[in-house]
Amino acid sequence: MPQTLAQKLVARAAGRATVTPGEIVICRVDLAMFHDSSGPRRLKPMLERLGAKLWDPARIVLVTDHYVTGEDAESRAIVGLAREWAKAQNIRNFHDGVGICHIVLAENGYLRPGMFAVGADSHSPTGGAFGVYMFGIGATEMLGVVVTGEIWLRVPETMLIEWDGRFGDAVCAKDVMLYLCGRFGLDGGGYQAVEYAGSAVAALPMQERMTLANMTAELGGQTGLVAPDAVTRAYLAEAGVRESEIEITPWQTDAGAPLAAHHVFDATALAPQVAAPHSPANALPVGEFGDVAIDVAYVGACTGAKLEDLRMAARVLKGRHVARGVTLMVAPASRKDEAVARREGLLATLEDAGARLLPNACGLCAGYGERFAPEAKVISTTARNFRGRMGAASTEVFLASPYTVAASALIGRIADPRAVLQ
Amino acid sequence: MSARAWVFGDDVDTDAIAPGAWMKFDIDRLSRHCLEALDPGFAGGVRPGDILVAGRNFGCGSSREQAAQALKRLGLAAVVARSFAGLFYRNAINLGLPALECAQAGRIPAGAEIEVDLEAAAVHIAGAESLRCAPIPPFLLELLRAGGLLNQLEQRLAAARERKPA
């Protein structure tokens, strides 16, 4: 019986040959990830109440990224608790203040095709870029996982989204996801598996595929998958994963597998997208925005400040300076990506253009620490522009790709990066 | 359970339910800001047993379970929505907050006296109609009856210890 990639991943975790969409199964978890906000501060008291031990500390990854900038006593206490807990529980896979959890997981080679993983963060579908069934859960459900090693799942349907052809210059994964949010809405994914395929997706580097998988959260999917290939293999080898641990062939959707929906789009026709306040679903081609002045341009977050994203922003800003009155902030998604960006001269380009560099953390995207000013008009590479998330209720946040954010910073208004790069 | 309906629209996100600026504080403090951007009178006006009614995709966005926990802390007995974001739905059940999917939730007027029957998967509007809801699967009803996942795990671990004395 032909199966989708999602079905194959769930079947393996459930110890079954095949599974049928809609049935409830119990899955063994290969990897559980949580951060300072969703992890120890909530898990510790519950574990103590249960008097329970962790099922397998080697399968747990803890990353501090939400409160690491420690702007006040409460934030510092949350991070301090995470550090103490990691030590007490002997968590070896502890990454402290070196980047955003989803990026840290990938660059350290934790994710390998065929795995079944959960993360206590809504952008956990990012792992799906590696052919991993990964999704976000809350802290109490994470408690269940770290005590039992298991989780229930309704076997998902698969929504297959193909992009044929090639994306145009200055069009990237962020544009794809904003377009899809606009087209299908914030519940378009129906909490099912979304698989991205087609020649344009196959041509994307891993970090761009991670952006597709990541923003499946905004599209309302449970996970966002890209079937592994030679690009996946090369990235993982670079991340230190042994060749024998990388399986490609078993983790593909079979021809004739059951699909809930199948959409084919022409990549060459996609224009840069901008989502107006206060929803990613308010996406329109950049050309449809008239004269919109901006105060702040923000390049940050797991979805918008990886090395590939920094390259895009730097390409637009090279040898130029942001418009007078515009504040440009850049928060590289991980220390590793920041180091490479420095070697490549990208950071110098960005700083020469007027960028203020921020720590490798969730930063303003989470809205847990520093926030944008009331009334500010912001264009941002982040994932969500819900009212009040990153600032006051009167703060207006537009979402766009690193190309478009950089071009807008340069001009001082929402701008088409293709015009700037000509 | 019979109580007043607090009615909200589509795509109510977790940033509205559990605002980020208050996430570093405990649930008592956080819950006082629950949904304040959409209805400043909500957190202060909810009476224990009241029911939140919403449109499509309630609870979209973050995995923060404080969204469900804040609603519970304010005393809401259930959330009835046209549909839920999957992550919020799992969090609500795991925290013992009943979440009922009702295609006709839009027929419930703000402030209406309503009654929710989880076992029968129905919402009764006082002096008016009854609305059918999607049934909650038996294993999730059991989880709700246990009061959520923490309680259920506690009961299971205690039962296992009794079977196998140290």
Task: Choose which CATH entry (1.10.3330.10, 3.30.499.10, 3.40.50.720, 3.30.70.270) describes domain A273-421.
Answer: 3.30.499.10
Do residues A178 and A214 touch, judged by C-beta distance below 8 A?
A: no
**Any CB–CB contact under 8 A between A65 and chain B?**
no
Q: Does A169 contact B at CB distance below 8 Å?
A: no
Backbone angles phi, psi at A100, to 5 degrees: -80, 135
Please give the full DSSP string across A289-349, using - where no structure is assigned.
--S-B-SEEEE-STTT-SHHHHHHHHHHHTT--PPTT-EEEE--SBHHHHHHHHHTTHHHH
Q: Tell me, what's the pLDDT at A71?
A: 87
Q: What domain count does chain B have?
A: 1
CATH of the domain at B96: 3.20.19.10
pLDDT band at B164 (very low <50, low <70, confident <90, very high): confident
Q: Which of A25, A122, A155, A303 to mutate to test the interface with B (most CBs of B within 10 A)?
A: A122
* Whether the Cβ atoms of residue A64 and residue A36 lie closer than 8 Å to each other: yes
Between the CA of residue A60 and those of A82, A379, A414, B146, what are the distances in Å?
A: 13, 35, 42, 27
Average pLDDT over residues A40-57: 97
- The distance of B71 to chain A (nearest Cα, Å) reads 15
Three-class SS state of A284: strand
Which residue of chain A is at minimal alpha-carbon distance from B93? A141
Cβ pair A258, A21 in contact under 8 A: yes
> What is the band of A336 on the pLDDT scale with cuts at 50, 70, 90?
very high
The pLDDT, as a whole number, for residue B2 is: 59
List pLDDT tens digits, range A192-227: 999 999 999 999 999 999 999 999 999 999 999 999
Report the percent of chain A where pLDDT is more than 70. Answer: 100
* Predicted confidence (pLDDT) per residue in A166-176, tens digit: 999 999 999 99
Strand pairing category for B99-101 and A24-28? unpaired
Q: Which domain holds residue B70?
A: 2-163
Residue B163 burial (CB count, 10 A): 7
Which DSSP state fits B102? Answer: -
pLDDT tens digits for A377-415? 999 999 999 999 999 999 999 999 999 999 999 999 999
A186–B57 CB contact, under 8 Å: yes
Round to whole Å and give the CA distance between B100 and B52. 10
Residue positions counted in chain B: 166
**A5-266, CATH topology level:** Aconitase; domain 3 (3.30.499)
- Cβ separation of B87 and A367 shorter than 8 Å? no
Q: Is this complex scored with an ipTM above 0.95?
A: yes
Domain boundaries, chain A: 5-266, 273-421
pLDDT score recorded for residue A285: 98
| The domains spanning A5-266 and A273-421 adopt the same CATH topology | yes
Residue of B nearest to A281 (CA): B11
Distance CA A406, CA A224 (A): 27
Q: Encode pLDDT of B8-59 as tens digits.
A: 999 999 999 999 999 999 999 999 999 999 999 999 999 999 999 999 999 9
What residue spans of A89-117 are helical by DSSP H? Answer: 101-107
Q: pLDDT digit string (tens) for B99-145?
A: 999 999 999 999 999 999 999 999 999 999 999 999 999 999 999 99
- Cα separation, B117 vs B19, in Å, equals 30
Give the pLDDT band of residue A70 (cuts 50, 70, 90). confident
Tokens coding A370: 């520093």
Q: Which residues are CB-contacts of A201 (< 8 A; sequence separation ≥ 6)?
A: A162, A163, A209, A212, A226
DSSP A198: S
Q: Are A161 and A212 in contact (CB under 8 A)?
A: no
Work out whether the CA dihedral A127, A210, A280, A305 comes out positive or negative: positive
Q: Does B11 touch chain A (CB under 8 A)?
A: yes
Query: Which residue on chain B is closest to A366 by alpha carbon?
Result: B20
Burial of B34 (0-12, 13-18, 19+ CB in 10 A): buried
Q: Is B68 on the interface with A (CB under 8 A)?
A: yes
pLDDT higher than 80, residue B165? no
